[in-house]
Amino acid sequence: MKYKIAVIEGDGVGPEIMNSALEILNTLTLPFEYIKLDVGYKKWMETGEAISQGDMDILKKCDATLKAPLYTPSSKEKNFSSVTLTIRKELDVYANIRPIKTFPGISPFTGLDLIIVRENTEGLYSGVEHSVNNGAVTERIITKASCEKICKYAFNLALKEGRRKVTCVHKANILKKTCGLFRETFFETAKDYPSIEAEETLVDACAYKLIRNPSSFDVIVTTNMFGDILSDEAAALTGSLGLVGSCNIGEKHAVFEPIHGTAPDIANEGVANPIGMIMAASYMCNFLGFKNEGEKIRKSVTEVLKEKKNLTPDLGGKLNTKQLTNKIKEVLIQKYLIQ
Ligand code: IPM
Ligand code: MG
């Protein structure tokens, strides 16, 4: 039996880093069958549809999705809406897990190991917006059910991973209704997990503390946009946005992707950092039950990055995407595959 993996190559540097991730996966013997889907902005320009119902059905039938970044223009351009967000909502992958771990030798902070759990389907990214006479309104939708699900997810993850603390990040002093509900639900949920410390911090203070004292965090749980912003900030602590992968998890589906964007400025130059994409692929291995394989990939990445000469330009190095991928492959084969 083979696991069906939907593959979205994405835009910008997407195809280059996806290529690396698939090459790493193919180095291992995994029962994966890849189904490539052509979705996104380019598809929309060509056909008027960024993702079809047929594509969505395939995504839903697959055992997991491996996804590179997709481009979304910031201009109001013909109401094009983000395919990434559409997929997250449609597959109801409500928990976006972003592990922020420093790699020895390259990260400005040592020993940092925190997990950001971001609510992934509502909040300010609800997609509900309208114009009013003097401007525009975006609805920040927060439901009790989603708060319960994401807070439970964070505490269960903390238990599973042997973590000591979950920090709820909010702005309930100002956003009394929406963040208020999130905060209240967090503390209600916390009662069921007496062995885990439950702490809260305001989002602005969290942004500050992440720079001043990042090791004070363990697991962070927060709403959609705060999680989006804080995870980019936290990624800077690892040395590069290009190093972080993520999992989007729901009851029925799961999507694995790097947290960065399409990086159009370096697209097609072959110099993008593939690690975030490779980390995402490694998390997919864990999710599908191939824990040893996931672990081997991450160990090989860590091993390769230890050497300052093995870095892509985002980390001040000179290696290109292919060369770095080959180094990881070499370590994977020599250290973990040849018995
Ligand atoms: C991310 C990205 C996405 C988001 C964009 C591409 C829609 O920034 O995964 O963090 O806002 O969630
Ligand atoms: Mg983001």
pLDDT tens, 22-44?
A: 999 999 999 999 999 999 998 99
pLDDT(339) > 70: no
**Residue 53, domain member (yes or no):** yes
CA distance 248 to 254: 5
Average pLDDT over residues 216-228: 98
pLDDT(48) > 80: yes
Q: Are residues 252 and 149 in the same domain?
A: no
pLDDT for res 90: 97
End residue of a domain, out of 185, 211, 236: 236
Average pLDDT over residues 110-120: 95
CA distance 230 to 183: 17
What spacing in Å lies between the alpha carbon of 113 and ligand 1's midpoint?
22
CA distance 106 to 95: 29
Q: How confident is the model at residue 337 (pLDDT cuts 50, 70, 90)?
A: confident
What is the number of domains present in the chain? Answer: 2
End residue of a domain, out of 196, 213, 236: 236
- What pLDDT digit, counting tens, does each position of 91-100 carry? 999 999 999 9
| Domain extent for 338 | 1-94+244-339
pLDDT for res 79: 77
Q: Are residues 144 and 257 in the same domain?
A: no
CB-based contact 86:51 (threshold 8 Å)? yes
Phi, psi at 5, each rounded to 5°: -115, 120
Q: Mean pLDDT for the chain?
A: 96
CATH code, domain carrying 50: 3.40.718.10
Token pair, residue 217, equals 């965090």
Instruction: Give 293's DSSP letter.
Output: H
What spacing in Å lies between the alpha carbon of 195 and ligand 2's midpoint?
32
**Residue 317, domain member (yes or no):** yes
CB-based contact 223:231 (threshold 8 Å)? no
Taking the CA of residue 225 as reference, the ligand 1 atom at the shortest distance is 11
Is the distance from the beta carbon of residue 85 to the nearest atom of ligand 1 less than 6 Å?
yes
Average pLDDT over residues 125-136: 93
CA distance 224 to 183: 14
pLDDT for res 71: 95
Q: Are residues 69 and 154 in the same domain?
A: no
Q: Taking the CA atoms of 282, 287, 293 and 298 in sequence, report the sign of the dihedral they define.
A: positive
Amino acid at site 308: K
End residue of a domain, out of 194, 218, 236: 236
pLDDT(78) > 70: no
Our measurement of the distance from residue 294's CA atom to the centroid of its chain's CA atoms, rounded to an integer in Å, reads: 16
Q: How confident is the model at residue 307 (pLDDT cuts 50, 70, 90)?
A: confident
CB-based contact 154:165 (threshold 8 Å)? no
pLDDT(76) > 80: no
pLDDT for res 308: 84
What spacing in Å lies between the alpha carbon of 36 and ligand 2's midpoint?
24
Ligand 1 pocket, mutate which of 65, 228, 232, 260 (most atoms under 8 A from CB): 228
- Which residues touch 21 (CB under 8 Å, ≥6 apart)? 66, 274, 277, 278, 280, 281
All residues with CB under 5 Å from ion ligand 2:
228
Q: Are residues 216 and 278 in the same domain?
A: no
